[in-house]
């Protein structure tokens, strides 16, 4: 049985990780990032203060947040999976397919966008060039994002200046485009959950495009999905609208950024 610890189990991401791992054939140890608060001690999920002795005999440590003791993992001989919003850049990004190779000691997570874009060849046949817009919800920032957007929204509704401490930018009732990355542009939207990826497709030279059978975890829809539909679905929701000749089209993909960026890749990597 695989023995794992989640550091930062009291955070939004940490809770999601523990809840996903508990029903599986593994042993999971939920750890805080430091000394426990009264709320953490009395919460439904029992979380332990992190100590090096608790890591003895474990196979994998998963970082959902940064431990208060920077030397906590200094002598840990097992594997490390860094799923923090800002992972250690020294770690290699996790592979987009397959399980964890025996000779690899540490990986950092990839974005949900990377994981979803890797699905494109299995969704559309004959696809050539791709460009589009990523409508990104605040869920990508975890507890900090959800709490920050809530605080800002309440402040604006009360006629006050929204606090920027948690997010670093104004998100409530704002659409905030980011600098383009190649043919894709990210737009931050004031939604708590549910990302949308709107892609403009062109076929390969002289060819046409066609929709493929949905792979596992993907559901084709009759209309482009909304962020609300995405937030309550465990599937990636996909809609393809092709022109009459099948040479151009718009592919709309809706996905939960935690599920598709973290939970599914983690379980696949660990072979669970």
**pLDDT score recorded for residue 3:** 96
The pLDDT-based confidence of 255 (bands split at 50, 70, 90) is very high
**pLDDT score recorded for residue 40:** 62
**pLDDT score recorded for residue 61:** 96
**pLDDT score recorded for residue 44:** 66
Alpha carbons 136 and 197: distance in angstroms, whole number? 8
C-alpha angle 236-268-239 in degrees, rounded to nearest 5: 15
**pLDDT score recorded for residue 132:** 96
Q: How far is CA 65 from the centre of its chain?
A: 14
DSSP code string of 107-149:
EE---HHHHHHTTGGGTEETEEEEEEEEEE-GGGGHHHHHHHH
Determine the average pLDDT of the residues in 247-261: 92
Is this prediction's pTM over 0.85?
A: no
The pLDDT-based confidence of 118 (bands split at 50, 70, 90) is very high
**pLDDT score recorded for residue 11:** 84
The pLDDT-based confidence of 86 (bands split at 50, 70, 90) is confident
Alpha carbons 52 and 29: distance in angstroms, whole number? 13
**pLDDT score recorded for residue 64:** 93
**pLDDT score recorded for residue 206:** 85
- Give pLDDT tens digits for 146-192: 888 999 999 999 999 999 988 888 989 999 999 999 999 999 999 88
- Give pLDDT tens digits for 26-81: 999 999 888 777 666 666 677 888 888 999 999 999 999 999 888 899 889 999 99
- Give the number of other CB atoms < 10 A from CB of residue 263: 19
Domains located in the chain, CATH noted: 2-109 (3.40.50.720), 116-257 (3.30.360.10)
* CA proximity to 110, closest of 140, 137, 68: 140
**pLDDT score recorded for residue 192:** 84
Give the contacts of 152 (CB within 8 A, at least 6 positions apart).
162, 163, 164, 167, 170, 171, 172
């Amino acid at each position: 049985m695989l023995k794992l610890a989640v550091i930062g189990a009291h955070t939004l991401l940490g809770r999601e990780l523990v809840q996903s791992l508990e029903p599986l054939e593994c042993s999971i140890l939920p750890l805080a990032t430091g000394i426990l608060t009264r709320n953490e001690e009395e919460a439904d999920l029992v979380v332990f203060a992190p100590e090096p002795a608790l890591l003895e005999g474990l196979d994998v440590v998963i970082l959902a947040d940064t431990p208060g003791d920077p030397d906590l993992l200094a002598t840990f001989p097992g594997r490390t999976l860094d799923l923090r919003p800002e992972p250690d850049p020294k770690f290699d990004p996790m592979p987009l397919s397959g399980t964890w190779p025996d000779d690899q000691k540490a990986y950092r997570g990839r974005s949900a966008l990377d994981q979803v874009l890797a699905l494109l060849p299995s969704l559309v046949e004959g696809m050539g060039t791709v460009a589009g817009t990523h409508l990104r919800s605040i869920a990508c920032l975890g507890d900090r994002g959800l709490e920050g957007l809530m605080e800002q929204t309440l402040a604006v509704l009360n006629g006050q200046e929204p606090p920027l401490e948690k997010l670093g930018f104004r998100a409530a009732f704002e659409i905030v485009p980011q600098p383009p990355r190649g043919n894709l542009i990210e737009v931050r939207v004031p939604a708590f959950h549910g990302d949308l990826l709107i892609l403009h497709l062109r076929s390969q030279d002289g060819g046409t495009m066609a929709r493929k059978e949905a792979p596992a975890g993907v559901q084709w829809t009759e209309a482009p999905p909304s962020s609300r539909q995405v937030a309550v679905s465990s599937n990636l929701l996909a809609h393809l609208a092709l022109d009459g000749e099948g040479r151009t089209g718009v592919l709309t993909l809706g996905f939960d950024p935690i599920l598709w960026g973290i939970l599914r890749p983690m379980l696949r990597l660990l072979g669970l």
